[in-house]
Homo-oligomer: A and B are copies of this chain.
Amino acid sequence: MTFDLKDRRIYGFATEEHLRFADQDVNGHVNNGAFLQLMENARVSYLRGFVRSGLPRFRMVIGRIETDFRRQMFYPGRATACARLLEVHERKCVIGQALFDGEGNCTATQRVIMVSLDEQTHRSTPFEPAVRDVLERFAASPDGMIA
């Protein structure tokens, strides 16, 4: 299944945020670091609150982030940050994300590659089958959530 990351409807999970004065940079708009901070926040909340719940503990690290900046954001204002599982592979998964401004315009999209990590060796390791099954159900769901 392929998802259009700009489409608000593919995300069952979102965090609603107010932009902060400190999110601005010297160019007078919200800094791209704040875009990433807002999407990080949604991703962490999605993974902690839904994906990991009920699963045996597993550890992932961020391997790669690809961010497309589509539109400026300005303070003051609101932002909605979204996250969902997109793909699951043997040793990694991909989270899809989008950021929307207060008028609902998509201001950024992002793919985050997260690598399954063995905490002892600190090397990549395949997901356990029970974990992978659940991740795949999240990734296959129309809105990234499972009942």
Within 8 A of B (CB), among A38-77: 38, 40-41, 44-45, 61-69, 75-76
A26 at the interface (CB under 8 A from B): yes
Interface string of A21-33 (1 = CB under 8 A from B): 1101110100111
Are the CB atoms of B76 and A69 closer together than 8 Å?
A: no
Q: How many residues of A contact B (CB 8 A)?
A: 32
Instruction: Pick the interface stretch among A2-10, A12-20, A84-92, A98-106.
Output: A12-20
The answer to whether B65 and A61 have CB atoms under 8 Å apart is no
Chain A residues at the B interface, C-beta cutoff of 8 Å: 15-18, 20-22, 24-26, 28, 31-33, 36-38, 40-41, 44-45, 61-69, 75-76
